[in-house]
């Protein structure tokens, strides 16, 4: 049994919030670079260059990459040999978010009530997913997600007899509808299977991969490639002004489901993909 003080989790979350918002991850930078080499539209190229330049300014001046510093989504994988003391995971994570957003001069984008609105003022509460895993470590995977792209996400319950083509059409339809609003070039997270809620979680979890990392299942990896080609043929392009880079990657996660169901969720992520992880 390993004891971990809850406060330690908060400190890590705080650091990850600031890093995710100000330091563009290498995998995203690499994906943008690759896209720039292939982009055919001059306006599209110009936008991709601006994205590269912005990452430099943000890093040097400790400014957020995007003014929408997102709602914080935290996946906490707790080793079953770990005993958390002096507090709870939930408190610790929210304390970390609160401190990170205050000290990091990050915009607070959490509405207090979904209908009556108002701002919680400190960007809490975070969306927290905990999972018990083997071992005596804690892994924290943190995503700060902007509202524009999240709003373009969709879910549909297909029939078990639906074809792959019908699913592809739904995903393409979602991307087309999102168009410029999702801040393309986007990352398309797809969850296939499970239940209504679990498909959406799978879609979100697919975004935790390194950008462009293919699914370990060969057939699913090929499906990802096939969809990426289709999406980049739409012509939507960077910021929707036309071009050959609409998506940087398609990332699919699958799970078994009920014999009557085939849920498919599409979680759209903007090019300012802010993700960091750490071990305790």
Residues in contact with other proteins by the rule CB under 8 A: 40-41, 43-44, 47, 50-51, 53-54, 57-58, 61-69, 105-108, 117, 119, 121, 146, 148, 151, 179-181, 183, 233-244, 270-272
- Strand-pairing partners, residue 80, are none
Min separation Cβ 30 and other proteins, Å = 17
Q: Identify which of residues 162 and 234 has a Cβ nearer to other proteins in the complex.
A: 234
- In whole angstroms, the minimum distance from the beta carbon of 87 to other proteins comes to 27
- Cα gap 242→171, rounded to integer Å: 19
Cβ proximity to other proteins: between 49 and 129 the closer is: 49
d(C-alpha 91, C-alpha 28), whole Å: 31
Both tokens of residue 188? 């398309």
Nearer to other proteins, 42 or 160 (CB): 42
Separation between Cα atoms, residue 95 and residue 86, nearest integer Å: 13
Give the helix/strand (H/E) hosting 249.
strand 247-257
Nearer to other proteins, 66 or 89 (CB): 66
Closest contact distance (angstroms) between CB of 54 and other proteins is 4
We find the least distance from the C-beta atom of residue 236 to other proteins, in angstroms, to be 6
d(CA 124, CA 127): 9
Between the CA of residue 189 and those of 12, 42, 184, 233, 242, what are the distances in Å? 26, 28, 14, 18, 22
| Closest CB to other proteins among residues 199, 227 | 227
In the complex, what is the shortest distance from the CB of residue 125 to other proteins, in angstroms, rounded to a whole number? 18
> Residue 58 in contact with residue 25, Cβ under 8 Å?
no
Residues with Cβ within 8 Å of residue 22, at least 6 apart in sequence? 58, 59, 62, 63, 64, 65, 104
Least Å from the CB of residue 174 to other proteins: 15
Counted residue by residue, the chain has a size of: 280
Contact 39, 245 (CB under 8 A): yes
Measured from the CB atom, is 152 or 264 closer to other proteins? 152
Kindly provide the residue ranges of all beta strands, DSSP E only, lying in 168-246, ordered along the sequence: 186-194
- For the CB of residue 107, give the shortest distance to other proteins in the complex, in Å: 4
Tell me if 69 sits within 8 A of 18, measured CB to CB.
no
Nearer to other proteins, 84 or 188 (CB): 188
């Amino acid at each position: 049994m390993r004891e971990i003080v809850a406060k330690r989790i908060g400190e890590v979350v705080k650091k990850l919030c600031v890093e995710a918002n100000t330091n563009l991850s290498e995998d995203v930078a690499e994906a943008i670079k690759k896209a720039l080499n292939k982009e055919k539209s001059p306006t599209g190229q110009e936008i991709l260059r601006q994205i590269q330049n912005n990452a430099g300014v943000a890093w040097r001046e400790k400014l957020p990459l995007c003014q929408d510093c997102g709602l914080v989504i935290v996946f906490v994988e707790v080793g079953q040999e770990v005993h958390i003391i002096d507090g709870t995971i939930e408190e610790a994570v929210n304390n970390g978010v609160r401190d990170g957003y205050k000290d990091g001069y990050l915009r607070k984008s959490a509405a207090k009530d979904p209908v009556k609105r108002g701002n919680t003022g400190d960007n809490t509460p975070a969306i927290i997913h905990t999972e018990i895993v083997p071992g005596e470590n804690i892994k924290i995977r943190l995503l700060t997600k902007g509202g524009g792209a999240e709003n373009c996400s969709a879910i549909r319950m297909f029939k078990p007899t639906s074809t792959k083509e019908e699913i592809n059409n739904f995903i393409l339809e979602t991307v087309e509808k999102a168009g410029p609003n999702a801040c393309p070039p986007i990352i398309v997270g797809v969850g296939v299977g499970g239940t209504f809620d679990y498909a959406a979680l799978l879609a979100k979890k697919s975004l935790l991969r390194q950008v462009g990392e293919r699914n370990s299942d060969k057939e699913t990896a090929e499906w990802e490639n096939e969809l990426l080609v289709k999406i980049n043929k739409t012509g939507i392009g960077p910021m929707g002004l036309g071009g050959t880079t609409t998506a940087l990657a398609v990332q699919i996660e699958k799970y078994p489901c009920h014999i009557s169901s085939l849920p498919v969720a599409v979680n759209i992520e903007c090019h300012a993909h802010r993700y960091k992880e750490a071990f305790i």
